[in-house]
Amino acid sequence: MKEEDGDGVDSSEEEDHPHVPYSPTRYPEDTMLEKSREFYTLMNQRRTVRFISPESVPREVIDNVIRAAGTAPSGAHTEPWTFVVVSDPMIKHQIRQIVEKEEEVNYRQRMGDKWINDLAKFRTNWIKEYLDVAPYLILIFKQTHGILPNNKKRIHYYNEISVSIACGILLAALQLHIGPDLLLSFLSLMSHR
């Protein structure tokens, strides 16, 4: 195998994954239509909100929706994500301060006038009070590579799109299992290396 920057890995050095047979359930057309309509109706209730309920949900629910997100496809099955759940009020507040500082830079320097004008109708700004209110913050980190047991790098192919898909599954799972009126806040930290 060609090594990139001297840290490529021969696939023979990686652990062997046994084949898992795939046998999907095939639904009749009328069931497919009904299920697709129900799913659309549920997902169409999803909204991006900045007012989060402080009401808690069982931690196991959070763990299960994260497990669901972890089923997302990824390049060469590298699963280039790390999910971190934060419930400690002090840590949530520290995260809020970091996010607000970065968002203020976005609003004042990085976003153009058109973007700021397009956001005006939503009355948004860099103040993120909901990060203190949400019972849980789910932080999602992108991994550009992993480390194998022999300390060599394992490249994570298509890491950004893979993490984006995992985020989409997470949002759908939250909508399905927590409901549209009780939302959590999650932060996708796509620039993490």
Q: How far apart are CA 82 and CA 64, in angstroms?
A: 15
Predicted confidence at residue 99, as pLDDT, reads 93
Fold (topology level) of 51-189: NADH Oxidase (3.40.109)
Predicted confidence at residue 73, as pLDDT, reads 95
Predicted confidence at residue 165, as pLDDT, reads 96
Residue numbers in the chain where pLDDT is lower than 50: 1-6, 10, 12, 181, 188, 190-193
Buried b (16+ CB within 10 A) or exposed e, 67-106: ebbeebebeeebbbbebeebeeeeebeebbeebbeebeee
Predicted confidence at residue 180, as pLDDT, reads 53
Q: How far apart are CA 81 and CA 83, in angstroms?
A: 7
Closest CA to 161 of 83, 74, 67, 76: 74
Predicted confidence at residue 182, as pLDDT, reads 52
Predicted confidence at residue 56, as pLDDT, reads 86
State both tokens at 189.
Answer: 């930290």
Written as one letter, the residue type at 2 is K
Task: Tell me the domain boundaries of the chain.
Answer: 51-189
Sign of the alpha-carbon dihedral angle for 115, 117, 119, 125: positive
Query: Quick one: 10 exposed, middle or buried, by C-beta within 10 A (0-12, 13-18, 19+)?
Result: exposed
In Å, how far from its chain's centre is CA 74? 13
Predicted confidence at residue 190, as pLDDT, reads 46
Rounded to the nearest 5 percent, the helix, strand and coil shares of the chain are: 45, 10, 45
Predicted confidence at residue 81, as pLDDT, reads 95
Q: How far apart are CA 69 and CA 172, in angstroms?
A: 9
Q: How far apart are CA 174 and CA 185, in angstroms?
A: 10
Tens-digit pLDDT profile for residues 146-171: 999 999 999 999 999 999 999 999 99
Predicted confidence at residue 193, as pLDDT, reads 39
